[in-house]
Amino acid sequence: MNYFSELKGKKVIIVGGSKGIGKDIALAFARLGSHVVITGRKEADLKETCHLLRELNPYCSFLTADIQNVNEIRSMMDSAYSYLGQIDILVNNAGINIPKPALEVTEEDWDRVLDTNTKGTFFCSQRAGMYMIQQQIPGKIINIVSQMAFVGYINRAAYCSSKGGAVQLTKALAVEWAEHNIKVNAVAPTFIETDLTQKMFEDKDFYQDVLSRIPLGTLAKTNDVTGAVLFLASDMANFITGETIKVDGGWTAI
């Protein structure tokens, strides 16, 4: 059986698709023959990843935008829709964390984290949802959240709040857009081994603390998250909506 073959030709937008998890997700869709548009703030990173995508599928492209700015979101989504011709799948992967003790979090810190992880996710989804409803064809929206939506952890008051909000947003949109056959789900990873997190794990005490909380005894890899995303994007998940799949090695099961 050729799993995920139905994703060939699907029109996919991946917000935050130039590095780490987003890059791995984008490459997976491109390998399956999906037409992928990746977005992000740094053009150089987007160009580098888009070059790899086009080696797999020449119909892939990229757009620059800062999703803390709603006008940029709308322009980005409109341009992506114009390029692709329709939107079948949106993956909201962009996110930031500013780890600080709660007593040291500034208003600017709080706004940057919430504006990216929650507000940005909503307004990207809003624009994609508008086009999906106009198209009158089934759509999939997949939000990359975090296990921190379900557990507390030190130095992450803003981050936990933003991801918890994104989980509730996922449920609200799933309920509201079900009549339009738009399924909205989320994937909640634990800590992931990427180039972006390598410096963080140079703190050996922090690294051991994280591992001690994961029953499987190892960090997740980007392809662990990608597998869950592809499942939710595929026809195998056509009766799943409003759900969050935890890819956390058992952290939240304890």
Instruction: Confirm whether 207 is a catalytic residue.
Output: no
The C-alpha atoms of residue 84 and residue 59 are separated, in whole angstroms, by 9
**Catalytic member of 3, 59, 159, 207:** 159
The C-alpha atoms of residue 80 and residue 87 are separated, in whole angstroms, by 8
- Contacts of residues 63-69 at CB distance under 8 Å and 24 or more positions apart, as own/partner, are 63/37, 63/38, 63/39, 64/39, 64/40, 65/39, 65/40, 65/41, 66/41, 67/15, 67/16, 67/39, 67/94, 67/116, 67/120, 67/123, 67/124, 68/112, 68/115, 68/116, 68/119, 68/120
Which residues are known catalytic residues?
159
